[in-house]
Structure 1
C-alpha cells in the first residue's frame, strides 16, 4: 500500500468523488481564491516597484539632485567643480543657470523653466541625453541661441526642428518709448521625450553662455552648480556640508524638497497596499478552514472507520493538515506563476490596450510618468508565497484538530 498513509488519504480527499463533489468544488474555489490573491498581490507590488524605480532612476536622473546657488553670479565655477568632485560622495558637477518664463509661437503660449547648461558636463549629471527623439545635447552651440524642448511643450506650441520660438523673460526693459518685456528668439534644435509630464511639458535647455547673456551676466559667470551623488539619499547632507565650506551666501535646493513628497507618498502607498493585499490573501487562505470543516463533517464515517482500524489521532490530524496544505501549495504556485507572467507583461499589455482603445490610462499632465511601469522583484515573490503558505498551513489546524477528536461510536451511530 502507498505510504505514508496520511499523505495517501489526504491526496485522495482532494479528488472529486461521487458523494462529495460539493466539497471538491469548494476545495477548488479555495485554491482559485488563494491563487487570485497571490497573483494580484504580486502584480500590484510589481507596479509599485515600477513607480519607485522610475522615480529614482528616470525622474531623479533628470531633475537636479542638489543645486548650490549663490546670491551673486559665480565666476570661479570651474574651480568649485574641481573642489566639489574631491568629496567621495559626489560623482559629478555641472554649471546651471535657470530662468522661468514663457515660450510663444504663433499665438500659442507655454510656461517653461529655461535651463542654461554646459552640454559636455550636463551628460554627467543628467540622463536626459538618452531620451532625445531629434537632436542632442551637442546641438547647443554658444552664441547660436538654440533650444532643446520636451515633446509635450513642442506639441503645445506646434513647433518642430528648425522653427523659431520666442522666450519671454519675467523682466521688463524700460525705454523712452515705454516698458517692454525682455524677449529672445531661439531656434528649436532638439526634442526629447522622457515620459515624465512635468519635464516634457515645462523644461527647455539652452547653452549656459546664451542664458548668461540673456540675464546680462559677465562672460564666464553662472547662476549655480548642479551636483550628482553616488547615494541620492545623502544629497541633502553632502550639499549642505559643501555649502558651509564656501565663502559668501549660498542656498541649497535638493530633490528631497522638490520631489521628496512624491517619493515618500509612493513608499507609503506601497506599504499600505501590501498590507491590504495581504489581508485579501489571508481571507483566501482561511477559506481553507471552511473547506476542511465541510470535509471533516462529510468524512466522519471514514474517520471513525480509520480509528477503529487503529489509526491514531495524530495520523487523522495529518490527513487533513496535508489536504489543506496541498490546497495552499497548489493555489500559491498557480498564483505565483500567473502573477509573475502578469507582472512581466503588464506594461506591454497596457500599452497594447491603450492603442486598441485609443485612450491613455496615465495622463502625463496628471501623473509624473505617462505609462504603467512594472518591475518584478524576486524578494517580493518569495515573501508573498511564504506568507500564503504559512497562512494556509495554520488554517488547517482547527479542522484537523476537530477531526482528531471524532469519536468512532458517535460517528457510526447513525450510519
Structure 2
C-alpha cells in the first residue's frame, strides 16, 4: 500500500482515506453509543414510574377484578408482583396555592412493581400507613405549593367532586376533601414532577368514593419473560382488556428515539460513502501507475481475476485499517466519557453527565456497513481500469 516505488500522491490519498474512514467510524461508535445511553436513561426514568406490564379496561375508567382473575394472573410463569392502582384527577390545595394533579392510589406492592423509592429526593415513601393520609408529591408540585418537609405547617388536601347526584346548594357539599401529610418528594422529569402525586390505596378510595374498583393492574415480571407474560395475559383476558408493556406505554417517545438513532446512522453512513471516494482515487492512481506491471503479469499468464484480487485486497486493506482504528478510537472516547464524565450537563438536568452505553450489535452494524461500502468503492476502479482490452 505504501511501497517505496509508489507515488507520494498515492501515499497521501491512501492515508487520507484511512484517516477519513477512522474518524467517521469513531463518530458512528460515539454517537450511536450516546444515543443508546440516552435511550437507556429515559428507560430507567420510566422504570421508576411504569411497571413491566399494565392491564386496564378497553372501555371505561375503572373495573372490579375478581379473585379468580387475580389468581390466574399470579399463576402465570414469570409474574413476580401484582399491584392494584387507582388513577384520577383531583385538586391539590395548600394554605395559599392549589394545582390540578393526577392522583395515583397505590397498594403495598407498588414499591415492588416499580422503582419509585429510588426517585425520592427528600423524605420517605411511607404510603401504606394506616394512621395517616400520607402523600408523595413530585418535585415540581412541591415547588408550586412551597412544600417543605422540615416544616409542620404543610396543610395539604385533595379535593374531588362527590360522586352521584349533587343536590346541595352549597358547592362545598358537592366536594370530597381529604387532608394529607406529605411524606416525601420524588423527582423524575417535568412530565411527572408537575403532574403526579401518590397516595395510599385507602386514601384514594376515600377521595374518589370507590369501594371495590381499580383503574389498573400493574405487574413486575422476570425481564426475560415479559413478552411471554404479555402474550398469555392477552389470551387470558380477551378483548375487554388492554395489556401493554413499558415500551408500549411510552411508544411515541421510544419510537422517536429509535428514529433519531436510525437517522443519525444514515447521515453518518452517507458521510462514510463520501469518505470512501478517496479509496476510488487512490486505487485508480495506483492501477494507472502499475499498468506496465499489470501487463507484464498478464502476459506471463496471470489471470484477470488474480490481478483484480490484488487491487481489491489493497482496497480492503485501506478500509480495514481505517475501520479498525476508528472502532478503537470510538471505544476509547466512550470509555473516557464513562469513566471520567468529560461531557457534563447542567444542574437542571436529571443526570449530571452525558450517558454512554456500548452495544455489540452497533459495532457489528458499523463494521459490516463500512466494509460493504469499501468493497463497492474498490470494485468500481478495479473493474473499470483492469478491463481485458486495456491489458493488451
> Which TM-score tier does this pair reach, normalised by the shorter chain?
0.7 to 0.9
How many Å separate the matches in 2 of 1:235 and 1:266? 26
With normalisation by structure 1, the TM-score equals 0.74
> Residue 182 of structure 2 corresponds to which residue in structure 1?
188
Query: Of 15, 19, 40, which aligns to 1:32?
Result: 19
Asked if the contact 1:167–1:184 (Cα under 8 Å) also holds between the matched residues in 2, the reply is yes
Gaps of 5+ in 2: none
How many Å separate the matches in 1 of 2:237 and 2:309? 68
> Residue 149 of structure 2 aligns to a residue in which SS?
coil
> Residue 292 of structure 1 corresponds to which residue in structure 2?
283
Asked if the contact 1:325–1:389 (Cα under 8 Å) also holds between the matched residues in 2, the reply is yes
How many Å separate the matches in 1 of 2:85 and 2:243? 13
The superposition leaves residues 41-94 of structure 1 with CA deviations (integer Å, 9 ceiling, x where unpaired) of 2223223333444455541552243133587674x7776543420123533211
Question: Residues 300, 326 of structure 1: CA spacing in aligned structure 2 closer, same or farther, 3 A cutoff?
Answer: same
> Residue 121 of structure 2 aligns to a residue in which SS?
strand
How many Å separate the matches in 2 of 1:379 and 1:257? 23
Question: Residues 347, 33 of structure 1: CA spacing in aligned structure 2 closer, same or farther, 3 A cutoff?
Answer: same
Asked if the contact 1:139–1:190 (Cα under 8 Å) also holds between the matched residues in 2, the reply is no
Query: Of 188, 191, 196, which aligns to 1:198?
Result: 191
How many Å separate the matches in 2 of 1:394 and 1:271? 22
The superposition leaves residues 11-64 of structure 1 with CA deviations (integer Å, 9 ceiling, x where unpaired) of 426xxx8x8433322222211221122222222322333344445554155224
With normalisation by structure 2, the TM-score equals 0.77
> Residue 354 of structure 1 aligns to a residue in which SS?
coil
How many Å separate the matches in 2 of 1:308 and 1:347? 58
Task: Tell me the CA shift for residue 95 of structure 1.
Answer: 1.7
> Residue 342 of structure 1 aligns to a residue in which SS?
helix
Question: Residues 77, 149 of structure 1: CA spacing in aligned structure 2 closer, same or farther, 3 A cutoff?
Answer: farther
Task: Tell me the CA shift for residue 150 of structure 1.
Answer: 2.7
Q: Does 1:153 align with 2:141?
A: yes
How many Å separate the matches in 1 of 2:352 and 2:69? 37
Task: Tell me the CA shift for residue 324 of structure 1.
Answer: 2.3
How many Å separate the matches in 1 of 2:61 and 2:387? 82
Gaps of 5+ in 1: 1-9, 411-415
The superposition leaves residues 107-165 of structure 1 with CA deviations (integer Å, 9 ceiling, x where unpaired) of 4554432211123x112211222332333434641231111123333334432325525
Task: Tell me the CA shift for residue 208 of structure 1.
Answer: 1.0
Matches within 5 A, 1:119-138: 119=108, 121-138=109-126
How many Å separate the matches in 1 of 2:291 and 2:18? 23
Stretch moving more, 92-101 or 51-60:
51-60
How many Å separate the matches in 2 of 1:377 and 1:353? 22
Q: Does 1:254 align with 2:244?
A: yes
Asked if the contact 1:343–1:374 (Cα under 8 Å) also holds between the matched residues in 2, the reply is yes
> Residue 94 of structure 1 corresponds to which residue in structure 2?
83
How many Å separate the matches in 1 of 2:238 and 2:387? 75
> Residue 215 of structure 1 corresponds to which residue in structure 2?
208
How many Å separate the matches in 1 of 2:67 and 2:277? 65
The number of aligned residues is 379
Query: Of 337, 345, 356, which aligns to 1:374?
Result: 356
Question: Residues 182, 266 of structure 1: CA spacing in aligned structure 2 closer, same or farther, 3 A cutoff?
Answer: same
Asked if the contact 1:58–1:127 (Cα under 8 Å) also holds between the matched residues in 2, the reply is no
Task: Tell me the CA shift for residue 298 of structure 1.
Answer: 4.5
> Residue 334 of structure 1 corresponds to which residue in structure 2?
325
> Residue 113 of structure 1 aligns to a residue in which SS?
strand
Asked if the contact 2:2–2:11 (Cα under 8 Å) also holds between the matched residues in 1, the reply is no
